[in-house]
A and B are shown apart, each in its own frame.
Chain A
């Protein structure tokens, strides 16, 4: 009996045309859960575009002066397409809880599967804490500050400052993790629905800012900005003086230093796409929970829909900012040269564009909703990874327990909650967390690179898995999967090289510090697997068998 179905859809043909299939009276053959939630889930990884713009540009503009941000985004979308394709096809071919752990472990070797997954796990674990504190640091506190500054009400400013204190950051971060965990336990549908609603709210706020800034001329914006800023800066042309101050402080601008820098443009790709679109394949971790997760078209739609959609929104948003606010001022403000006690957030600038306190409130508070889904998608990965490991015998079996009532992996979820409280505390109270987080996100490249290898070698190493699977797809006679794998490896190599070249700009002091964690997860993954295998062998269990495919012939 099966109550799920991957049966082909019926053909709606004329009366004389045979149907696509004929079913008999057997168990199963029921409808599927819609795919829309999966698209929102993927779009939220790592955060919605508003969060990506708020955090990504804030980091990128001062760290990569003279970078052509728009070109960097376009190149990032092109490069990420290979990654998305590899994950979509492999995820559809082997749609299991655990995502890359399962398909890399089966296609390459369990050590690669575990090491790659461990890299993603560590990155997700730290990211859950990072986005949890971002609820306050990039969401609530700036929103209060913007409303306070635009309305002139000091209560909002003081409240924002109070909430930005470490204790509040931690408390609200933990509350966010707790709420998303509870929603996860209650049901995947519940938490998916919540994250979809949050995503739509933050999108509406972001799109409102886009529309306002799109229809605001540069002259109007500058005039409004100068008028608004005068009580704070005591200057008649705050716009120009901000740019001048930044340049004097060492900021290089394209107009004044020989145009855009190709090197810095390449360097800017990773930080901006890393915050926006690089991880939209995250849904493969839930592929087995999504009906139709084994269909190529559905995986492609879910991943590319989220990637292109979010990528285009980030691109359009950045283009509008530069059109109305101006690249020079935006870069100078992000470099800290703007003399008004509020961050250079796009919601703030949009509010200035229309001189509206209500708009300031709506847009600023809408940004907050970008972060709880970002917490959730990382929790989801951390919850599924040990669940999948436990099925194969790499972790205690009780982690496979699924709630009878909610049908969710409750034990793994509670363990993840405890782990993420620790990272939230670390993120809230430690000044070194941001650097460590940046370094460990590079562990994600291990996952991506290993997946690229799987994509290249699947057809040759495991023809029985490849042939006839969702990954077995050719366009104009050219097999897509190995091409996607090669592109994935090439793009990953470029990102690693750029990260090494710009490690100082990313806040990393040495190459050893930068490369240690990615190498470390491979070593730890290998050591853990070999240890577990030896342990299980003593009990009569051959762990390798869990990853092997029986030849059918």
Chain B
């Protein structure tokens, strides 16, 4: 947020953007409340909604359960205790799975684990859409959600069809303020070979086709999950083949991991705003030509919702503010 800039003008479009909540129940609930809390017109969730871990809650066989989670060891849990631990696990973006040791042992099988993950993740998104409908219906707030590279393809079905949540992936959406919104959660290749990855060439094609529908780039908001390559918004620890951080004398070796296709798109199309995520530790704002590119970062592991409050004029960004609510 610049300290020195022009004086305030007439109120423009206010929106709140966040991304990479990775299954955090607490962050998602905060996201829904952000509209009234920050006084914005629209909410935009930029992708990577799903969590990454299943946490077993194991039956002891005598009606009680145990669970190890983070630094905590929970013993002899009754049903109420199990529910409390479940809430705790969901709060930080992980998924509880309750069962006997034998049942949970099946999760050692990769295919079985994948099936369980997909089922739980899908159900969690259905629950989130329902919650969004309960909280936002009738408020006049438009809520745009899109998946990210980490999100299973089938959750698109859970996001479609709601009268409150607007599934934004791959679409051009017109806003009442005259702005246009295009969104994609696909990323350039990552070392993890995740669900929604495209080669740089394919990603460039996708962005080009989306751009073909845009009427006025001067007021375009481009929500693109990966940040532009080498933009200060995409600096992440470099990894070796075992996904270990590469270290050198200066500590963790950092490398730009953003997309060259996104960079080229921003440079050529010059939208009003580029909203990105994907690299949690590279929070920041940069200008690429006339385009203001923002990555609000992510602190979902702490239950903190990192985001950016933006006020937009017809063809300019009036103000932006990083928040961590």
Task: Chain A residues near B149: list those with CB within 8 A.
Answer: 1, 27
Does B272 sit within 8 A of A, measured CB to CB?
no
Q: Are A26 and B150 in contact (CB under 8 A)?
A: yes
Question: What is the bound-complex CA distance between A532 and B256, given in angstroms?
Answer: 34
Is B254 touching A95 in the complex (CB atoms < 8 A)?
no
- Whether a CB of chain B sits under 8 angstroms from the CB of A545 is yes
Q: Which residues of A contact B324 (CB under 8 A)?
A: 96, 546
Residues of B within 8 A of A431 (CB): none
Q: What B residues does A550 contact at CB under 8 A?
A: 30, 33-34, 37-38, 305, 325
- Is A294 an interface residue, CB under 8 A from the partner? yes
Cα distance, A190 to B247, chains bound together (Å): 11
A539 x B8 contact (CB < 8 A)? yes
B52 touches A294 (CB 8 A): no
Pairwise interchain contact A8-B3, C-beta atoms closer than 8 A:
no
Of B68-76, B136-144, B209-217, the one with at least 4 CB within 8 A of chain A: B68-76
A16-B101 in contact (CB<8A): yes
Tell me the minimal C-beta distance from A20 to chain B in angstroms: 5
Q: A27 near B235 (CB under 8 angstroms)?
A: no
Say whether A29 faces chain B, with CB atoms less than 8 Å apart: yes
Complex partner residue of B114 from A19, A24, A536, A548, CB under 8 angstroms: A24
B288: Cβ under 8 A from any A Cβ? no
B37 pairs with A546, CB closer than 8 A = no
In the bound complex, residues from chain B placing their C-beta under 8 Å from that of A19 are: 56, 107-108
| A3-B239, A95-B302, A294-B301 given; A539·B5 CB < 8 A | yes
* Interchain nearest-CB distance for B116 vs A (Å): 8
Let me know if B192 and A400 touch, CB within 8 A: no
Of B29, B91, B280, B309, the residue contacting A1 (CB under 8 A) is B280
| A18 proximal to B (CB < 8 A) | yes
Count of chain A to chain B residue pairs whose CB atoms are closer than 8 Å in the complex: 215
Partner of A27, one of B25, B70, B150, B301: B150
| Contact A546:B322 (CB < 8 A) given known A7-B53, A468-B91 | yes
State the interface size on chain B (CB cutoff 8 A): 91
**Nearest Cβ in chain A — how far from B252, in angstroms?**
7
Instruction: Please state if A404 and B239 are interface contacts (CB–CB under 8 Å).
Output: no
Whether B245 and A31, one on each chain, are in contact in the complex, defined by CB atoms closer than 8 angstroms, is yes
Partner of B245, one of A3, A390, A551: A3
Knowing A22-B53, A468-B91, say if A393 contacts B38 (CB, 8 Å): no
Question: Cβ of A153: which chain B residues have Cβ within 8 Å of it?
Answer: none
Q: Is B83 an interface residue (CB 8 A)?
A: no
**Distance in angstroms between the alpha carbons of A2 and B20 in the assembled complex:** 9
- Which of the four size classes fits the interface of chain A? 35 or more
Using a CB-CB cutoff of 8 Å, which residues 279-298 of chain B contact chain A?
Answer: 279-281, 284-285, 298
Answer yes or no: B1 CB below 8 A from chain A CBs: yes
- The docked-state distance in angstroms from the alpha carbon of A546 to that of B249 is 35
CB distance from A246 to the nearest CB of B (A): 50
In the complex, are the beta carbons of B52 and A406 less than 8 A apart? Answer: no
A22 engages B244 (CB within 8 Å):
no
Contact residues in A for B113 (Cβ distance below 8 Å): 22, 24
As a 0/1 sequence over residues 105 to 127 of chain B, the CB contacts with chain A under 8 angstroms (1 = contact) are 10110000110010000000000
Inside 8 A of B30's CB, which chain A residues have their CB? 550-552
B251 x A188 contact (CB < 8 A): yes
Contact of A396 among B4, B34, B279, B302 (CB under 8 A): B4
Q: Are B68 and A11 in contact (CB under 8 A)?
A: yes
Select from chain A the residue with minimum beta-carbon distance to B251. A189
Taken together as a complex, chains A and B put the C-alpha atoms of A550 and B30 apart, in Å, by: 6
Q: Point out the residue from A2, A31, A468 that lies within 8 Å of B303, measured CB to CB.
A: A468
Q: Give A546 Cβ to nearest chain B Cβ, in Å.
A: 6
Which chain B positions have C-beta within 8 A of A545? 38, 309, 321, 323, 325
* Interface members, chain B 1-54 (any A CB < 8 Å): 1-9, 11, 20, 22, 25-26, 29-30, 33-34, 37-38, 48, 50, 52-54
B3 engages A397 (CB within 8 Å) = yes
A33 surroundings in chain B (CB, below 8 A): 245, 251-252
Chain A residues with CB under 8 A of B52 = 7, 23-24, 26, 28-29
A187 at interface by CB-CB < 8 Å: yes
In Å, the complex CA distance between A90 and B281 comes to 21
Q: B154 at the A/B interface (Cβ < 8 Å)?
A: no
Distance in Å from the Cβ of A30 to the closest Cβ of chain B? 5
Whether A297 and B236, one on each chain, are in contact in the complex, defined by CB atoms closer than 8 angstroms, is: no
* Residue contact B107 to A2, C-beta cutoff 8 Å: no
In A288-322, the 8 Å CB interface with B consists of 294-297
Residues of B contacting A532 with CB < 8 Å?
3
Q: Is B183 positioned at the interface, with any CB of A under 8 Å from its CB?
A: no
Q: A6-B301, A397-B3, A550-B305 are in contact. Are A1 and B278 (CB under 8 A)?
A: yes
Among residues of B, the one whose C-beta sits closest to the C-beta of A543 is B321
Q: What separation, in Å, do the CA atoms of A94 and B25 have in the docked complex?
A: 18
| Sample of 5 A–B contacts (CB below 8 Å) | A7-B53, A11-B68, A24-B53, A188-B251, A396-B2
Which B residues have a C-beta under 8 Å from some C-beta of A? 1-9, 11, 20, 22, 25-26, 29-30, 33-34, 37-38, 48, 50, 52-56, 58, 68-71, 88, 91-92, 94, 97, 101-102, 104-105, 107-108, 113-114, 117, 149-150, 187, 190-194, 230, 232, 235-237, 239, 243-245, 247, 249-252, 254, 256-257, 278-281, 284-285, 298, 301-303, 305, 309, 311, 318-319, 321-325
* Minimum-distance CB pairs A-B, first 5: A189-B251, A187-B250, A552-B29, A550-B325, A18-B104
